Amino acid sequence: MIKLYKTWRKAKQVFVKPSLRVYFGPRIKCPYLLGPHFIANYDVMWKTKYGEVRYEEPPVFGISIFKWCLVFSLHFPINNAYACDDHYWESILVHIYDNKSGTLKETIERMGIWSRFTKDYNRQRYFAVRPEYIRPELLKEYYDAVTEIDRDKDDLVL
């Protein structure tokens, strides 16, 4: 069975579908210990480190024959500066394996927030779970959760 969409299926009610990328060409970055022919079929590679879920590699299905290979892999569909493959897959993994209540708000809190000050001393907060990752019908819930988390963080005295 091909495992490409295995992890995403568990969180498809919340997250957008990843895009499929195809590579056909010479074999690159493959250890020769695998031999001239092999099939790679794995789901998202991840680990737990210091009690947190850490993303390693995207899901891949590949066939290699001699020096040629055909590889199918899943990646986040939109590439911009703040939305990346790592945070997309980590968000999904945290939502599935590290979210006790199963809510989007808890996933956002567990993934983390970082902030910076602009030149005019206004605070900007960035959330690791980006709105681009969330299905359109859940964006209102996402923005409500972000607003609530933002308000809770402002109440803290540093």
To the nearest whole number, what is the mean pLDDT of the chain? Answer: 79
Residue 50: inside a domain: yes
Residue 42: inside a domain:
yes
**Sign of the CA dihedral 134, 135, 136, 142?**
negative
In a domain, 1, yes or no: no
Question: Picking from 3-7, 23-27, 97-101, 124-128, which range would have the lowest pLDDT averaged per residue?
Answer: 124-128
* Average pLDDT score over residue span 51-72: 84
> 21 forms bridges with which residues in the sheet?
73
DSSP summary character for residue 17: P
Torsion-angle region of 145 (φ positive above 0: left; ψ -120 to 50: alpha; else: beta): alpha
Taking only the tens place, the pLDDT of each residue in 7-57 is 888 888 888 888 888 888 887 766 665 667 778 788 888 888 888 888 888
* Structural domain for 98, as ranges: 6-155
List Cα–Cα distances, 40 to 29, 43, 72, 89, in angstroms. Answer: 13, 10, 10, 19
> What domain count does the chain have?
1
CB contact at 8 A, 104 and 142: yes
The answer to whether residue 110 sits within a structural domain is: yes
CA 45, CA 131: separation in Å to the nearest integer? 24
Residue 137: what pLDDT? 92
pTM above 0.85, yes or no: no
Structure token pair of residue 128: 């690791």
**How many whole angstroms separate alpha carbon 122 and alpha carbon 70?**
49
